[in-house]
Amino acid sequence: MTSATLALPTAPEPVRPRVLLVGTVLATAATCMAFAGLMGLYLAERSAVIASGAKWLPEGSNIPLTPANMAFGTMLLSAVTMWWAVDAVARNDRQMAYLALGLTIFFGVAVINATSFLYTQMDLAVTSAPGVLIYTITGAHLAMIIAGLVFAAVMTFRTLGGEYSGRDHEGLTAAAVFWFATIAVHSVIWYAIYIVK
């Protein structure tokens, strides 16, 4: 049997394969797993220190709640504006899409700013166990925020540039999925690191 002689019925074009969305979901899941691993290490180390009778944060260090809460509140607001951007692109409303995306980027930058300010207030040395863990986790999250913002900006411009249509705005939906995961990770960090301390 030589398959060159085989004649299978021809397939119609696949229906909107949504390759970018699937790829983004997988990448987002992988990113969340990285944070899950880091949080696991953080919680294990913290509970071991506390079980030994010592304090988790070194003497003199503190995590002020005001900038942490501000950052988290801003992050939650950005969820609304990101959803607004996706909705505006779906309706081919160019002005609203730019406005919503601009606000999302503004909120993202504000979170980065608030976290940087928090770093200056913590008085926590990176050489200590809590320091290594907190700076690694929150620093990695800042990187995730930057990646999410760049992704959202690129996808919005590509959508409004005509690569996707209002009906097919897969690119921005993918960016939104990643952004919502960024917010979810932030909520875990906010509670486990900033609130519980």
Smallest distance from the beta carbon of 66 to other proteins, in angstroms? 26
Smaller CB separation from other proteins, 5 or 95: 5
Smallest distance from the beta carbon of 29 to other proteins, in angstroms? 6
**Residue 68: helix, strand or coil by DSSP?**
helix
Smaller CB separation from other proteins, 40 or 64: 40
Smaller CB separation from other proteins, 9 or 162: 9
Smallest distance from the beta carbon of 167 to other proteins, in angstroms? 18
The residues of the shown chain that bind other proteins, judged by CB under 8 A, are 1-15, 17-19, 21-23, 26-27, 29-31, 33-38, 40-41, 44-45, 126-129, 132-133, 135-136, 139-140
Query: In a 10 Å sphere around its CB, with 0-12 CB exposed, 13-18 middle and 19+ buried, how is residue 21 labelled?
Result: middle
Give the whole-angstrom CA distance, residue 35 versus residue 72: 17
Of 60, 99, 73, 100, residue with least CA distance to 84: 100
174, 158 in Cβ contact below 8 A?
no
Give the whole-angstrom CA distance, residue 121 versus residue 76: 23
Distance of CA 162 to the CA centre of its chain: 26
Smaller CB separation from other proteins, 140 or 184: 140
Smallest distance from the beta carbon of 115 to other proteins, in angstroms? 16
